[in-house]
Structure 1
């Protein structure tokens, strides 16, 4: 039996049911990743789907995946083009019997799989591993989906739902089906991502560093609202976003940590953040394109519009708000911004500058090394007040936030002195 696995946001061998399914059923297989040129073209929100930081992190992750496949006598086939043209062509030429792919809540990702199911004569098997829980555990409809995270968490607690246990990587893989690879990732990147490095091994190393070696988890409850630095946060979001790590792997490691050290405020906080991530994934699964609508899930149009000069000032970090400028310069020069910084910058764009939230969400999509479509658009809807929550969200004063989270002005001073050409990711 001949198979093909289409890697997307599951760039790992461990906890990859799509890979295990392929291995159990096929003697020969193609391991495929498709780079879609549409990712790098500007949208009507004046941003690209993928900027240079995430692009380089992706290529690092693909190189790591290729190395791991080689150890099992397989190879990664990278193609450049439209996957809905490339995959049917490969299946036709090789007589593919089985295509496996990991489920993903993104609207385009769902549509792509639905199209392949319609047009391919081969079986298309969709496997779940991007979320903590399975679809049959989170069986909400559009009408019944929780309007707040608190309601979602109560459902999880009431049903006594436990995260799925991650599965091991297969010891061996089907033999190679020979397929030409396209040239990819050959350009020179001017940005240094250190200490970020894409790939399953690097993600596992960071997980070990934060949980065990540096004891960052032990103090997380006290450090989680910091704006700068590396160790105050787990920094796992980039590996989770492209699937070099799964949320189930992190949850299992957290369970191991709590078994050894006991449950505390910091471990509960980390699990709550994994649960927040799942909440937004399932929200997009259920709500679909509504997550991108100007009037949001609430279907209430906010009193904002697009002002090109104000947006450009926000984008470049030249507004009248020093804390926002520091956050945006940090983002532009490192591809990363703290959770608290994202909230401050987003609140400023919507509430202080009165700009359509979708432009900010699209800019974050382009710039963030850890962009996740569900979390990004879910959080932006919340800031814009167009999410499903029936309660009105309080409008925060940016200057008050600055005094609370950067009382000595250290963060503002650091990024005020940085130029747009230098990278300060190494700290």
Structure 2
């Protein structure tokens, strides 16, 4: 069975072979070595260029969430909106360079097949000779890449590093704790204080065109082109997806005083300026971590270098650690016992799980954080630690269900950081101290003493909530 959008392409002559870029967490033009590599291959070999984003690619091989506790029907509205904005901005940039984005979406009336099958049809019908991807720590996505390589052994595969500070693990083996990792990196690779900027890949000045039979095809063929996904309701959000908005936020942040006070404000539950907010753009690759690091270093040289600016670097190292953690442990990232030898004592309880998800637990601070997540797709780092601790300790639930709920809703979802952090808090990951529990009353008193956050996000479902002293 063929996708009707692709079926008509078989009836059109193909006079040139093609190079294909499969975008994933690299939705940008600047510092994108994958796009640069593909453009060079197409130009040097007189081939055309296919630029593709495929939703839920791993679903087509039965791999998505295979080792996870449960699945979800669709990602949350805020996360979908942020992704759609990011793809829209990418497509605008690609069109300015002479090409455009193809967007494969699964199981619709016009595209009844999963996106993996659609991609295979595209590879065959467009005579693809080379596929270019960015390295990813996403185990399921890598399984899909492996299937493609085995299915098309004649197609040359090119993998570039676009998501990390280091091209490979910067040591012989991954340390068991973040502290060991940080100390070794700072000893052997002091990127924060290096004399020269981290080298980035320049954006292409132009791109080879897409195949003629797509440009001149029917309306069905043109439906393969990216179209902005319109939600029933456009959610108000300070997070706007896309490389253009990422760079705008980067400039605004480092043109302010916020970097110099980051360490003292980063634990606030609900203020835009109190933390860097780079995570969403870093997660889908609309912002390069190397570009961010260079800008941080410029700030330290030109404005101030203090404990707060160092702490931004510190958080980037956490991101780096979890990336290599996921690359090292692969499917163990989703195992109930994680990388530990013993399983935790938590369990599945549908009623308590639904209370946590819906913000109806006996704990107002938890309810407020969960309501914030559901409405905005975002939660502060402090909030994530508090709700995860409650999930594991007070509610006694299987941590994987919490991790998957975050995967569904977080606009800054990153497989390595999300699952690695949940393992860390559940005591089955990279933490020599074992399971960590937060005192909810103490956390509430420290981070929401007036009850304003709980009141704003209806954590107690009353209009006159005032936090009483413990």
Q: Output the TM-score relative to the length of structure 2.
A: 0.83
- Paired position in structure 2 for 1:128: 161
| Deviations 1:114-133 (CA, angstroms, capped at 9, x unpaired) | 22222222211010011111
SS of corresponding position for 2:457: helix
Shift of 1:135: 1.1
The CA distance in 1 between the partners of 2:96 and 2:172, in whole Å, is 39
| Deviations 1:360-404 (CA, angstroms, capped at 9, x unpaired) | 111111111111111000110111111143323442211111111
- Paired position in structure 2 for 1:376: 418
- Alignment counterpart, residue 235 of structure 1, candidates 277, 280, 304: 277
Answer yes or no: is 1:150 the counterpart of 2:163.
no
Answer yes or no: is 1:308 the counterpart of 2:350.
yes
Structure 1 residues 174 and 128: alpha-carbon distance in aligned structure 2, compared to 1, 3 A threshold: same
- Paired position in structure 2 for 1:31: 51
The CA distance in 2 between the partners of 1:259 and 1:330, in whole Å, is 37
Listed as ranges, the matches of 1:7-406 within 5 Å are: 7-27=23-43, 28-36=48-56, 38=59, 45=70, 47-48=72-73, 50-81=75-106, 82-120=114-152, 121-135=154-168, 137-140=170-173, 145-160=174-189, 162=191, 164-178=198-212, 179=214, 180=221, 181-182=223-224, 184-212=227-255, 214-406=256-448
Answer with 179-188 or 399-408: which moved more: 179-188
SS of corresponding position for 1:416: coil
SS of corresponding position for 2:159: strand
Q: Is the 8 A contact 2:69 2:401 kept in 1?
A: no
Give RMSD over aligned pairs. 2.1
Answer with 104-113 or 393-402: which moved more: 393-402
- Paired position in structure 1 for 2:195: none
- Paired position in structure 2 for 1:424: none
The CA distance in 2 between the partners of 1:280 and 1:366, in whole Å, is 19
Shift of 1:255: 1.2
SS of corresponding position for 2:88: helix
The CA distance in 2 between the partners of 1:329 and 1:4, in whole Å, is 41
The CA distance in 2 between the partners of 1:418 and 1:34, in whole Å, is 41
Structure 1 residues 380 and 49: alpha-carbon distance in aligned structure 2, compared to 1, 3 A threshold: farther
Structure 1 residues 346 and 49: alpha-carbon distance in aligned structure 2, compared to 1, 3 A threshold: farther
SS of corresponding position for 1:26: helix
Q: Which structure would you say has the larger Rg?
A: 2
The CA distance in 2 between the partners of 1:130 and 1:249, in whole Å, is 11
Shift of 1:48: 4.4
Q: Is the 8 A contact 1:133 1:162 kept in 2?
A: no
Shift of 1:83: 4.3
Q: Is the 8 A contact 2:269 2:383 kept in 1?
A: yes
The CA distance in 2 between the partners of 1:199 and 1:66, in whole Å, is 10
| Deviations 1:143-185 (CA, angstroms, capped at 9, x unpaired) | xx21110011112122225385222211111122243343754
Q: Gaps (5+ residues) in structure 2?
A: 1-16, 107-113, 193-197, 215-220, 462-470
Shift of 1:189: 3.2
- Paired position in structure 2 for 1:423: none
Q: Is the 8 A contact 2:19 2:42 kept in 1?
A: yes
Answer with 106-115 or 223-232: which moved more: 106-115
Q: Output the TM-score relative to the length of structure 1.
A: 0.91
Q: Is the 8 A contact 1:165 1:252 kept in 2?
A: no
Report the number of matched residues: 413
Q: Is the 8 A contact 1:6 1:100 kept in 2?
A: yes
Structure 1 residues 189 and 63: alpha-carbon distance in aligned structure 2, compared to 1, 3 A threshold: same
Structure 1 residues 175 and 343: alpha-carbon distance in aligned structure 2, compared to 1, 3 A threshold: same
The CA distance in 2 between the partners of 1:138 and 1:110, in whole Å, is 23
Structure 1 residues 355 and 417: alpha-carbon distance in aligned structure 2, compared to 1, 3 A threshold: closer
